Amino acid sequence: MKVVRLGRSESKSRAKVTVAGCGGAGCNVIDSAGMDHAIRTMALNSDSARLGSVRADLKLHLPASEAMKIMTSDRRVAIGQHVPHAERLREGISGANFVNVITGLGGRTGWRLAAALGRVCGESGVPVLCTAIVPFGTEGTCRSQEASEQARTLRRECDGLLLIRNDRLTAIAPRMTFVQALGVAARLATILPIEISSLVPEGDIPHLTEVLRVAGHLEVEAVEARVDEEIHGMLRNLSSSKWLSMDPAQVVSALAILRTPALPDKLESDAAHALRILSPKMKCLATLALNCEGKNSGMLALLGFESQLSE
């Protein structure tokens, strides 16, 4: 396994981060999050009325009829002649070192806009993370199945995919209301770009991209119930004392595998210990590695969300 080390770059300038809210859910997140002034925000929506009320540096309206053309019948991004305003999307990410696309799943247009932007970022050589909010199970089986299919497309088009499952949030805190759950989801969706902007030097972005790709790879491995023996072996040899001396980025890389149910409880205990000693700004990367799902969903409380989850 390639160990990813952050904070080793000689570059002192901070990464230029762009956050793009796609569709209704994505626009709601960036509108309510109160982004740092150093972060550039984009809003993409097919609802012109909603788009008009969103606070964003750049707004792009794509009518639903045009947004539907983004995907081919096999859910591939039809970039080029079929993607409306592709040039404006490129202009929107111009100068960015890192792009975080935020969208809800299960709908008609938001995920399509996110996938198109992910493709444009890839063609432009800009690392892109997609943060996707998975609908509540009570919203219907069809919507849940559609969300799963949409997630597969987004995983293909972006360097990394962070899934925030609303059902997981309510499982952690059963007394949390629907509105409170959405609020926590919004904070989870924005903590990464905010901390990346303040923490990561521009020269370290390629290493951060590697973290995204490792986490995405391990998510697929976990779904298919396979464990990378090299990574598993490395984790098996780690004691609590060794966690203390590890570079925080090594911890983050190692934590990604902990989503696999086959790992022994001792490793989960060590992971919890590691999270406690990580600096607050490194916890955002641990959030990415843990991906807010699987048996480790309870670790959200260790990532600084105790107050929201207990309300």
Q: Which residue has the tokens 């962070």?
A: 162
Of 69 and 18, the one with more pLDDT:
18
Question: Which band of pLDDT confidence, cut at 50, 70 and 90, is reported for residue 167?
Answer: confident
Q: Is the pLDDT of residue 229 over 60?
A: no
Instruction: Count the neighbouring beta carbons within 10 Å of the beta carbon of residue 7.
Output: 13
Would you state the torsion angle of the CA atoms of residues 290, 296, 297, 302, taken in this order, to the nearest 10 degrees?
Answer: -80
Name the average pLDDT for the chain.
66
Of 220 and 15, the one with more pLDDT:
15
DSSP 104-163: ESSSSSHHHHHHHHHHHHHHHT--EEEEEEEPPGGG-HHHHHHHHHHHHHHHHHSSEEEE
pLDDT tens, residue by residue, 116-129: 899 889 888 888 88
Q: 17-199 sits in which CATH class?
A: alpha beta
pLDDT tens, residue by residue, 245-274: 445 445 544 444 444 444 445 545 555 555
Instruction: Using the CB atoms, write b or e for 71-100: b if 16+ within 10 Å.
Output: beeeeebebeeebbbbeebeebbeebbbbb
Q: Is the pLDDT of residue 300 over 70?
A: no
Of 36 and 115, the one with more pLDDT:
115
Q: Is the pLDDT of residue 230 over 50?
A: no
pLDDT tens, residue by residue, 43-80: 999 888 888 899 999 999 888 777 776 765 555 665 54
Of 247 and 101, the one with more pLDDT:
101
Question: Which band of pLDDT confidence, cut at 50, 70 and 90, is reported for residue 101?
Answer: very high
pLDDT tens, residue by residue, 266-299: 545 555 555 454 454 445 545 544 443 433 344 4
Question: Domain map of the chain by residue range?
Answer: 17-199, 205-310
Count Cα neighbours of 248 within 13 Å in the Cβ-side half-sphere: 19
pLDDT for res 269? 56
C-alpha distances in Å from residue 299, one per residue of 173, 178, 211, 257: 12, 20, 19, 14
pLDDT for res 22? 94
pLDDT for res 135? 84
Question: Which band of pLDDT confidence, cut at 50, 70 and 90, is reported for residue 23?
Answer: very high
CA pseudo-torsion sign 77, 80, 83, 87: positive
